[in-house]
Structure 1
């Protein structure tokens, strides 16, 4: 017998499990019923104490799925703005204009980190933006690198610490001349202070 015929044994199988299989059995006998119509039907289950239906499938149909695309797009836009500012500050330092560069170095001031609790996400974007221009960090830009290395990263949240440690690894790969600065800070952190 042809497996695609309407009288085939393959059409008599029990449906697989899932939240809408009961309606699919009903949809096989009545072609006008769809999944959306099933969600609109009153639930045969008893309502919850707060008055809402406990039918999980109707909740899946009616509730929209939230995405983080707007958040990611906003973060990408901020990072692009930060990269543009960093490029301007680094070029200004080479040209003898120190104002933007000093503002950039001041972002990693430890006193500023203690004052502002919401600084973690902003500093994380600064670190991500700086990781795109590591090849431009010359010896003239060492005050910026020193400020980043001396920043108290251990007091920040886990996402910042991961971004910071990735940045330090990339920094040392791109610019090995800063290795002595980073190792000096690490050994200073291992010493006991009374």
Structure 2
């Protein structure tokens, strides 16, 4: 099967090669409009699953899917809008090709996200518990009014503020983790929403 250089770069997710060809070629518009013998335009080809060696460079199926979606969206920006609804000889649009090619990766990405969220939940819950206990058990003598003797000292105030922030951040992270478990896990969610939630959880640790 014969492909031009741009088509090969798109199928193999070779960003640098694609950019090089796109920048130097005076025929880039013609290359973008080209189709293979099965009627696949470049957006169909961008919807195909990346070679295994490319996927293995990215840790975690969810992050792999994020990268795949990003590549598809970047090619989508370059082609004519009607290419999005263009059908190949099998009657499939680029979006359909992407969904079929990445069906297993979506499933594995969901499992990976939930596993990562489960791992984070224990640590975040522990931090929230320690922060709560620390704020409720101030290590100090108390005056007749029941207040710590050094409640107006700078160190005490700093401790109270930092501990409160820690507890609040942990509670927000727990909410984020539970939102990961209850997400719908559509393809589009892996592009921004789900990775952002997981990153926020990790930053709270």
TM-score normalized with structure 2 length: 0.28
TM-score normalized with structure 1 length: 0.29
Larger radius of gyration: 1
Which structure has more relative contact order (CA 8 Å, sep 6+)? It is: 2
